[in-house]
């Protein structure tokens, strides 16, 4: 079996006006659907970041991928790593860059997109689920968290292509609780995450307390301000929410850089506060993991098959976390069902991943979904590994074509939350870290 053709489908997916410390989500998120078509007529698929950068990176390996044996992924990884920018050494924090736009992760992202499509093709050739190709699963169902955002009114899309605003405006503790009740009722999530760093810390503390009040101690809580806080503010929030976050939840990237995280950790521990710190900013690649351990700046690594280098990389990270005594969770970006199934198979083969994974899936709709049969269903907050080959999903090519049409009409080819914030909320807005 050889790869005959690499096909790339840049698509646009409607997205609501969600807020974070990066700014504002644009009316459409950009994604790329990848296909590898083999000589025996099997098509493997994956989904990755979108826009000109990711598409160009995938185009740059086309000549290496076409003609490749999809089983020979180690040699392909060596090839792609040799092309990578390694000059920056350990200086790879994503603090200033929205995920998917860090040029230093390009090789890992590109490899991941090809690796997953190859594994999907191999799974389809052998008639086995993807997770069974890499050692088999340690869990049959993967739990996800209710991933809450502050947002303005609107459901995403533009002109005559707007989506229903399912959750409405969310800018108060009451609205946060309301959106969470909606999400938990619909999906059955058992853990809750709030994307913070948007409103003054006292308002976000109030939102977490309101969630605890409403849902009780059985729902672990986490908050992620994407580095918007100073070290002092991080310690203040950590102390204020000690009861809420230390009980199976975590405090995610309260401040920038591993040194800052380590200082927050030292000060919390000195107060007898063992709330774990999680990160997808101070730790974005394997070189960061031992540093996280040595400095004790991060206790829970947020993995992500899309930019850590695919399913194999997830397993290595899981092993490393076990060896170093670190926890593991999973980061997400706006995505559709192909990515959701990738995350699900990835989580299924990582024993160290004991927290519910993040997912943006509730923020997208069936109008934009590209898999046959419509949206992936959740059972009590979990995605069940389907008894189907590969990822377990197939592309609906009419839906892919609609996504490509939306993409073609868009004036932008790069995620830029700061520009969106200036356009729609505050013309003078700048990303300032720390803001509080």
Whether 331 is catalytic: yes
Q: Where are the beta strands (DSSP E) in 362-408?
A: 382-384
Q: Which of residues 346-365 bind Mg ion (CB under 5 A)?
A: none
Beta strands at 250-252 and 221-224: parallel, antiparallel or unpaired: parallel
Q: Which of residues 279-308 bind Mg ion (CB under 5 A)?
A: 280
Report, in Å, the least distance between residue 50 CB and Mg ion. Answer: 19
Distance CA 18, CA 4 (A): 40
Nearest to 357 by CA among 278, 288, 262, 287: 278
CB atoms within 10 A of CB 375: 16
Residue 332 or 364 with smaller CB distance to Mg ion: 332
Provide the 3-class DSSP secondary structure of residue 25. coil
420 binds Mg ion (CB under 5 A): no
Residue 224 or 417 with smaller CB distance to Mg ion: 224
Q: Show the site string, 261-280: x = touches Mg ion by CB under 5 A, - = not.
A: -------------------x
Q: Which stretch binds Mg ion (CB under 5 A): 163-171, 210-218, 219-227, 334-342?
A: 219-227
Spot the catalytic one: 195, 288, 335, 360: 195
Q: Which stretch binds Mg ion (CB under 5 A): 62-70, 85-93, 158-166, 216-224?
A: 216-224
Residue 32 or 333 with smaller CB distance to Mg ion: 333
Report, in Å, the least distance between residue 119 CB and Mg ion. Answer: 26
Of 105, 115, 224, 417, the residue at the interface with Mg ion (CB under 5 A) is: 224
Q: Which two structure tokens, joined as six digits, stand for 275? A: 């709330």
Does residue 394 contact residue 371 with C-beta atoms inside 8 Å? yes
Distance CA 436, CA 231 (A): 10
Q: Which two structure tokens, joined as six digits, stand for 429? A: 């807005």
Torsion, Cα 356 340 382 222, to 10 degrees, reads 30
Spot the catalytic one: 331, 335, 345, 360: 331
Residue 147 or 189 with smaller CB distance to Mg ion: 147
Residue 50 or 197 with smaller CB distance to Mg ion: 197
Q: What's the helix, strand, coil split of the chain in %, to 5?
A: 40, 20, 40
Q: How far is CA 92 from CA 257, 265, 272, in A?
A: 10, 21, 32
Binding site for Mg ion (CB under 5 A): 224, 280
Q: Which residues are catalytic?
A: 195, 331
């Amino acid at each position: 079996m050889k790869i005959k053709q690499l096909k790339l489908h840049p698509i646009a997916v409607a997205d609501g006006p969600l807020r974070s410390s990066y700014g504002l989500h644009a009316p459409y998120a950009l994604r790329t659907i990848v296909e590898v078509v083999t000589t025996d007529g099997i098509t493997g698929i994956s989904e990755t970041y979108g826009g000109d950068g990711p598409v160009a990176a995938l185009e740059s390996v086309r000549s290496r991928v076409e003609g490749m044996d999809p089983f020979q992924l180690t040699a392909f990884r060596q090839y792609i790593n040799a092309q990578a920018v390694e000059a920056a050494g350990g200086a790879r924090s994503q603090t200033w860059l929205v995920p998917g736009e860090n040029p230093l992760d390009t090789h890992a992202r590109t490899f991941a997109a090809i690796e997953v499509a190859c594994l999907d093709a191999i799974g389809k050739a052998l008639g086995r689920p993807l997770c069974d190709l890499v050692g088999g699963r340690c869990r049959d169902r993967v739990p996800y968290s209710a991933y809450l955002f502050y947002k303005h009114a609107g459901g995403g899309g533009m002109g005559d292509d707007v989506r229903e605003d399912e959750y409405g405006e969310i800018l108060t503790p009451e609205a946060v609780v309301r959106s969470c009740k909606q999400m938990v009722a619909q999906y059955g999530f058992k853990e809750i995450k709030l994307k913070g760093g948007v409103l003054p810390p006292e308002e976000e503390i109030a939102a977490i307390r309101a969630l605890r009040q409403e849902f009780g101690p059985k729902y672990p809580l986490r908050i992620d301000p994407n580095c918007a806080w100073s070290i002092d503010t991080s310690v203040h929030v950590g102390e204020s929410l000690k009861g809420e976050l230390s009980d199976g939840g975590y405090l995610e990237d309260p401040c920038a850089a591993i040194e800052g995280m380590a200082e927050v950790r030292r000060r919390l521990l000195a107060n007898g506060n063992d709330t774990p710190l999680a990160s997808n900013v101070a730790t974005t690649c394997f070189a960061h993991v031992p540093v996280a351990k040595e400095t004790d700046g991060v206790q829970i690594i947020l993995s992500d098959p899309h930019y850590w280098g695919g399913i194999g990389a997830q397993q290595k990270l899981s092993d490393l976390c076990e060896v170093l005594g670190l926890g593991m969770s999973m980061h997400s970006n706006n995505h559709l069902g192909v990515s959701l199934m990738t995350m699900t198979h990835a989580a299924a083969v990582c024993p160290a991943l004991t927290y519910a994974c993040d997912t943006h899936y509730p923020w997208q709709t069936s109008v934009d979904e590209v898999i046959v049969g419509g949206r992936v269903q959740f059972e009590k907050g979990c995605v069940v590994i389907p008894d189907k080959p590969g990822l377990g999903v197939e592309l609906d090519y009419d839906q892919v074509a609609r996504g490509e049409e939306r993409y073609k009409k868009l004036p932008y080819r790069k995620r830029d939350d700061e520009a969106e914030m200036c356009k729609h909320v505050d013309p003078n807005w700048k990303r300032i870290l720390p803001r509080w």
